[in-house]
Structure 1
């Protein structure tokens, strides 16, 4: 099987050394949260905003516990050892990767909210003739196309770049790699939800491995999301180009009203998670610069 960020064990043949003491309760808690998130990603039967929101909430709890774990003197002493510097640097690079993808997810949600708010405001006013109406709908669809293109580029860029080699490491590092992997997997679900059914092409190793690792997960192709319904409704209106097509306009408006709080909720969850990712990176930097 090809290596994938979703399955860090596929990158390495790892010999895991336990931490030099009995298992701390925080370690057990992180492992339990990881297990729940992996199971949720593998068996989730929908790509709804509620399911993604729950996963983002789970990631917040996970990274809260990770940061507490990094504050333990034992953890800091273990990772601060000179021979472990390479592993800490690897974890730092991973933290940058998570912040970058989270930032992209925040941007595409903001752009999605802005273009949906604009078309919703225009349809509520119902000013102008058919030509202006068609232009505004077309502007929305162009914005959505641009957002999807950016998401597809990001998903393709999330392919693994790790080398296949044997690395002896400590259990703590393996667990933090798993945290990064499951976080990337949830970001993939979120970005795929926003983009809709046209996911990356078959050349994308990330998408192929994701499908192999999560055969039970139903992708966005299998469920029409709220965003897809809005897109379809507006595309239908564009074909008629009639500003007085009240039935279809009302349908599109109702869909936009339902979509608005969903996007807002995802934005808030992402912002909370982004702050936690920053805390984790700061903790790792403190250990690295010790």
Structure 2
């Protein structure tokens, strides 16, 4: 999946460069329409690049055996993840680590530590707000694209 996303981002960058090199001096009547298309295309590709890079970050790298995964995640019963490592993580990764911490540490116990539950719940709320922000941004983008489409159809029908 990462290779596909990298190829997709590379093709988007090539398309952006190709559109930047397009001369607008050919027809003064079409110049505003071409400019609007170019801006919509650049905004769309920018949003898709951001979204794909956000979703493409690996959560946990697969390992050949389960014991090596356990030895990486735990150091004397505590998850190895200092603040420097957390700064490079996105919300999906922090939620995944928090949930796996709760599941692994409490797999043999009947009760769950309230502090871990609250921490996981806070991270889930942050993830939820991030997803809502992405949804709101995409809704705005779709509204603008629909408005542009209507305007272009009105121009072409005249």
TM-score tier after normalising by the smaller chain length: 0.5 to 0.7
Q: Is the 8 A contact 1:237 1:248 kept in 2?
A: yes
By how many angstroms is 1:13 displaced?
5.9
Q: How many residues align?
A: 119
Find the counterpart in structure 2 of residue 213 from structure 1: none
CA distance in 2, matches of 1:283, 1:191: 29
Find the counterpart in structure 2 of residue 192 from structure 1: 53
Q: Please, what is the CA RMSD of the aligned residues?
A: 3.4
Q: Is the 8 A contact 1:233 1:248 kept in 2?
A: yes
- Gaps of at least 5 residues in structure 1 are 21-77, 80-169, 200-221
By how many angstroms is 1:231 displaced?
1.4
Matched, 1:10 2:2: no
Deviations for 1:114-148, whole angstroms, at most 9, x for unmatched residues? Answer: xxxxxxxxxxxxxxxxxxxxxxxxxxxxxxxxxxx
CA distance in 2, matches of 1:171, 1:264: 33
By how many angstroms is 1:227 displaced?
2.2
SS in 1 for 2:140: helix
By how many angstroms is 1:174 displaced?
5.2
- How do residues 66-145 of structure 1 correspond to structure 2 at under 5 angstroms? 78-79=29-30
Larger Rg: 2
Distance 1:175 1:264, change over 3 A: closer
Find the counterpart in structure 2 of residue 177 from structure 1: 38
Find the counterpart in structure 2 of residue 270 from structure 1: 138
Find the counterpart in structure 2 of residue 233 from structure 1: 98
Q: Is the 8 A contact 2:12 2:45 kept in 1?
A: yes
By how many angstroms is 1:228 displaced?
1.6
By how many angstroms is 1:197 displaced?
0.7
CA distance in 2, matches of 1:14, 1:268: 32
- Gaps of at least 5 residues in structure 2 are 1-6, 60-86
